[in-house]
Amino acid sequence: MASLWIPFDVIAGQTAKLEVTVEPGTLRCFRLVPASGHALPERVDVTLAAIDGRIVWTHAWTRGKADSFEIAQCFARGRHVLSFAGNDGAHGEITFDVDELVDDRQPVDVALH
């Protein structure tokens, strides 16, 4: 996952150069859980943003065969905000920090309300 979005244009017949610094990321896992007495929605829109509100990426996510939503993604160092919005109006959000580049495969549960 890129932690920075850099738009650029490619024009036919011209050379486009782009210089980036690539840093390692670390794996984090998240699992959506329904609020008590509710079912998980069929579809969830996921948005990752930097702490300043800049959107890094978005993704539409459909429920898995086991009636669960789980995501495993690499994140760069820093503070991140993951927002979830179900097609049924349910929503949830988590703010988390990545300080160390050590993978953590234990899912963090995020409740949808």
- CB crowding 83-109: b at 16 or more within 10 Å, else e: bbbbeeebebeeeeebeeeeeeeebee
User: What is the pLDDT at residue 47?
Assistant: 93
Q: What is the pLDDT along the chain (113 residues), one digit of tens a residue?
A: 445 567 778 889 998 888 877 777 888 999 888 877 788 888 999 999 988 888 988 988 887 666 678 888 888 888 999 999 999 999 999 999 988 888 888 888 888 88
Q: Is the pTM of this model over 0.75?
A: no
CATH T-level topology, domain 26-112: Immunoglobulin-like (2.60.40)
CA distance 109 to 9: 39
Three-state secondary structure readout of 28-88: EEEEEEECCCCCCCCEEEEEEEECCCCEEEEEEEECCCCCCEEEEEEECCEEEEEEEEECC
